[in-house]
Structure 1
Amino acid sequence: MDWTLEVVIVPVSDLARSIAFYRDQVGFELDHHIANEHMEFAQLTPRGSGCSIVIGTLPSQQDMAPGSLRGVQLVVSDATAARAELVERGVEPSEMTVLDDRDGSTFFGFRDPDGNTWTVQQLAVRAEHPLIPRGAQGGRGAVE
């Protein structure tokens, strides 16, 4: 049986600010933004990922303090390019750390406006062998 991780809840204090950060600065795609009398939430997905984040006022999010999520890891094929893209979009990432010369040993991090932390790992092999084949990634329909 396959078990897929498809959503990570990220606790935030301001939904509009967080949508702007993750969509406009980090570059995630906004899959949907839903509001009704009971809740408001948005789902965003990193390009090329099979896992999304959900932010907002869902009941499960009320159990976590904004900024309490630590070390969720993103993987890129080129950490230098990814870090430069974030800097260009106004994100303040940490300096890169290289643990050794093997693939998978280069990291940097960043925080969202609430203080949730993210780690970015370079796996150069992802350039040639993405987890989700490029033809299967498709385009997500962004909605606001």
Structure 2
Amino acid sequence: MDWTLEVVIVPVSDLDAAIAFYRDQVGFTLDHDTTNEHMHVAQLTPPGSGCSIVVGDLPSQRSMAPGSLHGLQLVVADAVAAREELMGRGVECSEITVFDDRDGGTFFGFADPDGNSWAVQQIRARAEKPLIPHEHRGRFGENLEP
């Protein structure tokens, strides 16, 4: 049986600011922004990822303090290029740190406007062998069914 992690709740104080940050600055795809009488939530997905984040005002989100989520991790094939891309979009990033010269030992970090923190790990092997092959992605990078 497969157990797939597909959504992580990220607690934020300002939904519109969070959407703008993750979509416009970090480059996630806005999958939906749903408002009704019970909720206002948005789901955003990093390009090439099978897991999305959800920001909004569901009870589970209100039970966590904005900015209290730490240690979320993204993986890229080139940390230098990824850091330059984020910084070019106005995201403050830490310096790149090499903990180990082997693939997977290079990191940098950033935080959203509320202080939820992210680590970005370089795994060069992702360039040749992404977890979700490019042929299974749509025009805007979203994941498609095989």
Q: Residue deviations 1:64-97, cap 9 Å, x none?
A: 0000000100000000000000000000000011
- Distance in 2 (CA, whole Å) between partners of 1:4 and 1:13 is 28
Cα distance in 2, alignment partners of residues 134 and 45 from structure 1: 15
Equivalent residue, structure 1, for 2:77: 77
> Is contact 1:6–1:50 with CA below 8 Å preserved after alignment?
yes
Cα deviation, 1:23-43, whole Å, max 9, x if unaligned, reads 000000000000011110000
Q: CA RMSD in A?
A: 1.3
Alignment of 1:1-144 (within 5 A): 1-139=1-139
Deviation at 1:137, TM superposition (A): 2.1
Distance 1:135 1:53 in 2: 23
Aligned residues: 142
> 8 Å contact 1:31–1:141 — kept in the other structure?
no
Which ranges in structure 1 are unaligned for 5 or more consecutive residues?
Answer: none
Contact 2:48 2:141 in 1 (8 A): no
The question of whether the paired residues in 1 share the 8 Å contact of 2:47 and 2:141 is answered with no
For structure 2, which runs of at least 5 residues remain unmatched after alignment?
none
Taking structure 1 as the reference length, the TM-score comes to 0.95
Matched position secondary structure for 1:24: helix
Contact 1:79 1:121 in 2 (8 A): yes
